[in-house]
Amino acid sequence: MTSSLHRLYSFRRCPYAMRARLGLLFADLQVELREIMLKKKPDQMLAISPKGTVPVLQLLDGTVVEESREIMVWALRQQDPQGLLNATVLDQANALIEQNDNDFKHWLDRYKYADRYLEMTQSEYRQRGEAFLQVLEELLTKNVYLLGDNATIADISIVPFVRQFAHVDRDVFYRLPYPNLHLWLQHWLEHSFFLQAMTKFPPWQEGDDVVVFPS
């Protein structure tokens, strides 16, 4: 079945795909969503994006946007009713996202999969990752959101990764001395857009009805 919507290939639990879906929700844009299985990626996705990672957005004109940050920025440049691309803090937002996507993600992967990375213990990997959590905690002592009284692209870019870090061991995470970060994360986990972003869909197969996201 054909669709008159841009098409997003996604995987529910991937933090990069989460941030892309959040960007679309905040932009109030609908797409055709194709949920994939990582172990059986659809040929249609691989044909337009051979690297085989999600998210992938295929625009109606055939343009392919393969990076989560680019998808978010593309969506919010179409419309940004809540001002997530606030120009006054955009440089700070981009710097935080860079730190998240590089240093923090590096230690997060090792903390989550410590049995694959035997150079350090899991607790040592957690402590390395906490360097970024401390940065976030310091920001949140001053503001409700990371960069002020309103959410920015930094918040919705980073929260899926902090969520993943917390879920490695929730008991340990909530014993860590980051009360403002705990409240910030809980706020986002209960946010209506985050709940929508985490809606479960069956894996897409050729011939399925179009799934419109958000519905």
* 105-119 pLDDT per residue, tens: 999 999 999 999 999
- Which residues does residue 57 pair with via DSSP β-bridges, in sequence order? 8, 65
List where CATH 3.40.30.10 sits in the chain.
7-81+199-213
List where CATH 1.20.1050.10 sits in the chain.
90-194
DSSP 8-state class, residue 86: -
- Which residues does residue 31 pair with via DSSP β-bridges, in sequence order? 213
Please give the CATH number for the structural domain made up of 90-194: 1.20.1050.10
Return d(Cα 43, Cα 26) in angstroms, integer. 30
Of 198, 201, 193, nearest to 27 (Cα)? 193
Which residues of the chain are modeled with pLDDT < 70? Answer: 1-2
Instruction: Provide the 10 A C-beta neighbour count for residue 188.
Output: 20
Q: What's the start-to-end Cα distance of the chain, in Å?
A: 17
Query: pTM of the entire structure?
Result: 0.96
Please give the CATH number for the structural domain made up of 7-81+199-213: 3.40.30.10
Q: Which residue has the tokens 């994006």?
A: 49
